[in-house]
A and B are shown apart, each in its own frame.
Chain A
Amino acid sequence: MIEHQTLGSKIFDVINLIVLIVITLLCIIPLWYILCISLSNKTAVDAGIVSFWPVGFNLFSYERIMGEKAFFVSFWISIKRVVLGGIVGVGCILLVAYPLSKSIRQFPKRNLFMWILVFCMLFNGGTVPWYLTMKNYHLIDNIWGLVLAGSLPVFSVILVMNFFRNLPGALEEAAYVDGAGPWKTFFSIFIPLSKPVIATIVLFTIVGHWNEFFQGLVLSTKQANYPVQTYIQQMVVTTDFSTMNVEQIQQALKLNNKSLDAAKVFIAIIPILIIYPFLQKYFVTGITLGSVKE
């Protein structure tokens, strides 16, 4: 489009770019800050002189973490949870979504199951009944408690179902004519064609399990069973500086190490940063394709 640019329009372009860069920096600087804290020496951090560059650069906090077994135990619990939760979650999501993507003619009871799912998505019994149920199932201090507690992710089921429904029907008909049953059609036609949406739900399931802390807190009776987010949550809660005055902060600082805590926080971000390029690539297409029905 050829267009005469007025001066006002040019000024707007420059200001717009500056505003967008500032907004972008606001999203990344907090992470940079926590990294700087973790790389600074303890005295500088305690004095509050570290801002956006490490002061007295050292890797001491990271070395010290190596000696903290409890942190790695929780990290390992989170990894187990992500792997098991990913397999169970994605498997169930795909298998439930496929039949529900059929028409009522093909699957007469479809709408009944759909309503059950939607009702479960919109209504829940609340924290207390949920907790007591988990206790009755003996899922306290149990990795399967962390894997299963969230129940079937209905929203993801709907996302995948809508994606399946938008695939060309002719493909399925061709498979049927060739004598393929539902399992074969599912595995050799629908699954290979649904990579973007599968990638989306895999990544969302991983992120969801990795970030979850509340179930870890409520379903564990001892620290040794905390997933990593719960471990960090408990660590931070006990050292909330925001409501303390200077003397209280100095008191608290004698007992703990902000730089070390920051290093733990940063290590817990790393798995997300590793899968982030994949997340980035898929989630926009996954969401926009899955949420709109033709």
Chain B
Amino acid sequence: MTESLALDKPRSPKRPAARRSNFELYSWLFMRISGLALIILVLGHLLIMNILDGGVHRINWGFVAGRWASPFWQFWDLSMLWLAEIHGGNGLRTIIDDYARKDSTRFWLKILLYVSMALILAVGTMVIFTFDPNMPAN
């Protein structure tokens, strides 16, 4: 009975590692580090854009141009874009893993997720770097 099951002792050197990569560990750590940064970046962004000094009603193209004239806010927005998109994308990856029942569903939902992340990161980064403050109104 017991001989049919051959298992190494827990700490025997030949025993292969239980996991092949530490990806999920780093993903877990990234969520916490990026989350900490996003608390400042996102709550600051929401406070400025939605609450202070008239909030959303004062936002227009000129307002954006005024903010992006400063490298500080360009860097703020660029960091926020990348951290938020990857933080949110990684969260959605976890949720897809949790709730997709078929491997094919899981596969296609993740493809959709990764394509949307690439699109948003590319478009957002391009806009911050190529913004033209002298653009004509039309």
* Bind each other: no
